[in-house]
Amino acid sequence: MNENLLKQCQEKLREELARTRASFVLDLKTNTNPVILALAELLENTAPSDWIDSINEKICPSQFPSYQRLVQLEAALCQIDIGQFGFCCDCEQEIEDALLMQDPATQRCTQCCPVTKIKEA
């Protein structure tokens, strides 16, 4: 992967992560469940890098789509840090540049992506 693409993807991921964090806290604050409201307050006083650990046991992830995206974005940034970004999690081949530009948090190449396989069938 070329350095320019990596930097572009990293910037897109960081920007979306900031927006997604804000959206997630807002989603929590509009919930009527006292446990969820307490979680929103906790997150506002917790470093964002510690959010996933604070959240995991306290919500139903399917109830908050922004949380699922938050996890994807955090994973992609972690992969950049360890030098694994841009490689398919199934076949370990490089993910196509076009897919990464469309969604830098993508985890699969065209051959392994379930959506692509459904379209081809």
In a domain, 57, yes or no: yes
Residue 101 has pLDDT above 60, yes or no: yes
- pLDDT bin (cut points 50, 70, 90) of residue 113 is confident
- Angstrom distance (rounded) from CA 100 to CA 2: 12
Range of the domain at 68: 3-85
In a domain, 67, yes or no: yes
- pLDDT bin (cut points 50, 70, 90) of residue 95 is very high
In a domain, 43, yes or no: yes
In a domain, 107, yes or no: no
In a domain, 99, yes or no: no
In a domain, 109, yes or no: no
pTM as predicted: 0.84
- Asked if 54 and 42 count as a contact pair (C-beta separation under 8 A), the reply is yes
Average pLDDT over residues 33-44: 92
Residue 76 has pLDDT above 90, yes or no: yes
What is the tally of structural domains in the chain? 1
In a domain, 106, yes or no: no
DSSP assignment of 9-72, as one string?
Answer: HHHHHHHHHHHHHHHHHHHHHT---HHHHHHHHHHHTS-GGGHHHHHTTTS-GGG-HHHHHHHH
In a domain, 77, yes or no: yes
Question: What percentage of the chain carries pLDDT values higher than 90?
Answer: 75
